[in-house]
Amino acid sequence: MIKKEDSLGIPNYGMHYLKMPPERDSVENTLEEFLRIHQFINQVVSSNTVPEFQGKQKRLQFINYGSTQLVYVLTIDENRQYTFLVNQPATPFGTGKREFENLQRLSKNNKSNVITPLYYFADKNCASRELYVTPYYYQARCIGVEDKEWGIWTPEPEYLFHVFKEQDRKVINTGMVALLVKLYDEKRKMGLSEVRLDGGDFMLEKGFENYDINFENILKRMKLIAARKLETMDLDEYISRIRMELSGKVADSQEIKVIGKMLRRPLGLDEIEEGINLGIVLRKKEREKGREE
């Protein structure tokens, strides 16, 4: 049940987290941009053409931010919620649409492990403003690194970071690696790129901790929620990249493809290898399932 007073993320209006272009980085420009972003969101929320947004009471809350987007939640009649991902002012236009399309493509055959985007909107009054909409998973936990420790950001009772227990970290991190491998598109020869495992690109549904922390239970409740880019490469090269980049073994001269920059803390070699092997097993099961159908 949704409670109006429940914390869904960072308790803020969002203006302090705007990433402005250098040439417009002033208090006046930031305030103006903040107001226009909210005008744009309200135009989308007020649209009569989107069935999901119809209702008597609507509440919009800022809950999180990243280098690419600001994250809001729309609550309708206290029983339906949707996530709005709005481009940061410094983010090039088209970034949101590309991610929307990437998530559409990935979720088509991986609905249990990839968030399914619903709508994309571009601001008619601004050539650089856009957003896309996804279902909201109530008080979900984003996986990442803080102070060089792996854990999750938990919204309630207030937004805090909780470090994983050692045995839980291994299962959860291995699960993320497995999904990277599972989500590789064999037909188009494309794998995920610019992934931030340490910055909240994967989430766990609330309540995951009430079940045994094993691969079966974690993979049932883990979802990819960001897909900035898909990179063309063979599966063998993709797996090799995962092995090298997630372990932090990248020379300064080497291009980083799978992760957008160096991890704040590399994964353990056992997590990487077990994740790759599990991902290959998951891919095999999917192929067998497809043949049976």
Q: Cβ contacts of residue 101 below 8 Å, gap of 6+?
A: none
Q: Residue 6 domain-assigned?
A: no
Let me know: does 73 contact 8? Beta carbons within 8 Å.
yes
Shared domain for 220 and 264, answered yes or no, is yes
What's the whole-model pTM score? 0.93
Maximum mean pLDDT: which of 3-12, 84-93, 123-132: 84-93
Shared domain for 131 and 160, answered yes or no, is no
- The identity of residue 77, as a single letter, is D
| Strand boundaries in the chain, DSSP class E | 58-65, 69-76, 80-87, 119-122, 130-135, 141-146, 149-154, 160-163, 190-193, 199-204, 222-224, 229-232
Shared domain for 160 and 54, answered yes or no, is no
pLDDT in tens, 202-215: 999 999 999 999 99
Shared domain for 34 and 128, answered yes or no, is yes
pLDDT of the residue at 249: 81
Last residue of a domain, one of 135, 160, 190: 135
User: Alpha-carbon distance 243 to 159, whole Å?
Assistant: 32
pLDDT of the residue at 290: 66
Q: Residue 1 domain-assigned?
A: no
pLDDT of the residue at 258: 81
Q: Looking at residues 171-197, what average pLDDT do you find?
A: 96
pLDDT of the residue at 128: 86
Task: List, as own/partner pairs, every contact residues 245-251 make where C-beta atoms lie below 8 angstroms and the sequence separation is at least 24, other chains included.
Answer: 246/177, 246/197, 246/272, 247/272
In this prediction, residue 260 has a pLDDT band, given cuts at 50, 70 and 90, of low
pLDDT of the residue at 255: 74
pLDDT in tens, 218-244: 999 999 999 999 999 999 999 999 999
Last residue of a domain, one of 135, 159, 185: 135
Residue 207: Cβ within 10 Å count: 12
Shared domain for 58 and 44, answered yes or no, is yes
What is the CATH number for 21?
3.30.200.20
Mean pLDDT of the chain: 93
Decide if pLDDT at 292 tops 70.
no
Q: Residue 158: which domain range?
A: 141-292
CB environment 171-187: b (16+ within 10 A), e (fewer)? bbbbbbbbbbbbbbbee
Q: Looking at residues 253-274, what average pLDDT do you find?
A: 84
pLDDT of the residue at 286: 84
Start-to-end Cα distance in the chain: 37
Q: Residue 2 domain-assigned?
A: no
Shared domain for 97 and 210, answered yes or no, is no
Domain count, the chain: 2
Last residue of a domain, one of 135, 169, 197: 135
User: Cα 219 to the chain's mean position, in Å?
Assistant: 16
pLDDT of the residue at 127: 83
The distance between the two most distant Cα atoms of the chain, rounded to a whole number of Å, is 61
Shared domain for 275 and 166, answered yes or no, is yes
Q: Cβ contacts of residue 104 below 8 Å, gap of 6+?
A: 116, 117
Q: Residue 77 domain-assigned?
A: yes
Shared domain for 96 and 168, answered yes or no, is no
pLDDT of the residue at 149: 97
Q: Tell me how many helices (H) and strands (E) the chain has.
A: 6, 12
